[in-house]
Amino acid sequence: MRLYVNIDHVATVREARKTDEPDPVRAAVLAELGGAEGITVHLREDRRHVNDRDVRLLMETVRTGVNLELSTDPAMVAKGLELAPFQVTLVPERRDEITTEGGLALTDPGVRSRVERGVGELQAQEIRVSLFIDPAAGALDVAAGLGVEAIELHTGEYANAGRASKAHELERLVVAADHGESLGLAVHAGHGLTYENVIPVAAIPSIEEVNIGHSIMSRAILVGMERAVREMRDLVLQAPERVREPGIWVPPQGF
């Protein structure tokens, strides 16, 4: 089982102020030090979190592999070709959604032909392609027919299910993962996975990779809070002694 860490929401915090911190590239390095086996980012058409600069620098910095999530829009596929990550995961994208909702509707001929074109272009440049799909046999069969290397099963319905339907949603994932494996596809999974619900999914033998973002970013903020506050408090308390240190900005004379 590999853990790919999605760092989009580091950039979401940066974009809340349109400034330069926190930097998702630095976060990627720390995620790798923590054991991430890959870094995932979703370059959205509206660039609401990571942007082209981030992905370019991630390509130079990440030592594991970059999994770049892209919509099937031809301009976004062209971005994938330009950035040439280890893997592109094609996902559905709507501008007004908060996060990716559902997998690619591969049984729809229009969606399928856009996906087919994207897959062909990416694979021609030797980029591994994964398709984000719902855990349904029809979508898996179409994905296998398109010749992709991998699929990512959407775990959102499992994650959101209440007690009454949780076991049923998990069973759908098990059946889909086994079917995907029997078709020769590498099976990944992701969306909505948390510290509370990941274990049953990560224990499915036919799933080889999970992609997790929001929950890890949420915990990182909380586990880092005490240290961040202590560091700022130390600076504030030590200010009278430290204000003359070399390199510390001081106001001009007469201020």
Site for ligand PXP in 191-210 (CB under 6 A): 191-193
> DSSP letter string over the chain?
-EEEEE-HHHHHHHHHHTSS-S-HHHHHHHHHHTT-SEEEEE--TT-SS--HHHHHHHHHH-SS-EEEEE-S-HHHHHHHHHH--SEEEE----TT-SS--S---TTSHHHHHHHHHHHHHHHHTT-EEEEEE-S-HHHHHHHHHHT-SEEEEE-HHHHH--HHHHHHHHHHHHHHHHHHHHTT-EEEEESS--TTTHHHHHT-TT--EEEE-HHHHHHHHHHHHHHHHHHHHHHHHHHHHHTTSTT---PPTT-
- Give residues 36-65 in contact with ligand PXP (rule: CB under 6 A): 42
- Select 114 or 234, whichever has its Cβ closest to ligand PXP: 114
Q: Is 69 a catalytic residue?
A: yes
6 binds ligand PXP (CB under 6 A): yes
List 9, 49, 69, 152, catalytic entry: 69
Instruction: Compute the least distance from the CB of residue 182 to ligand PXP, in Å.
Output: 22
Q: How far apart are CA 27 and CA 50, in angstroms?
A: 12
CB of 253 to ligand PXP, least distance (A): 51
CB of 53 to ligand PXP, least distance (A): 19
- State the catalytic residue, choosing from 93, 179, 191, 209: 191
Site for ligand PXP in 74-113 (CB under 6 A): 89, 91, 99-100
Interaction residues for ligand PXP, span 118-177 (CB under 6 A)? 132, 152
| Residues 207/199, Cβ–Cβ less than 8 Å | no
Going from the C-alpha of 129 to that of each of 70, 186, 194, the distances in angstroms are: 11, 10, 25
Q: How far is the CB of 232 from ligand PXP (least distance, A)?
A: 28
Nearer Cβ to ligand PXP, position 87 or 206?
Answer: 87
Considering beta carbons, is residue 219 or 230 the nearer one to ligand PXP?
219
Among the listed residues 42, 49, 154, 179, the single catalytic one is 42
Q: Is 179 annotated as catalytic?
A: no
Residue 212 interacting with ligand PXP (CB under 6 A): yes
Of 72 and 100, nearer to ligand PXP (C-beta) is 100
Rounded to the nearest angstrom, the gap between the alpha carbon of residue 93 and the centroid of all alpha carbons in its chain is 14
Does 218 bind ligand PXP (CB under 6 A)? Our answer is no
Q: Which residues bind ligand PXP (CB under 6 A)?
A: 6, 8, 42, 69, 89, 91, 99-100, 132, 152, 190-193, 211-215
Which residues are marked as active site?
A: 42, 69, 191
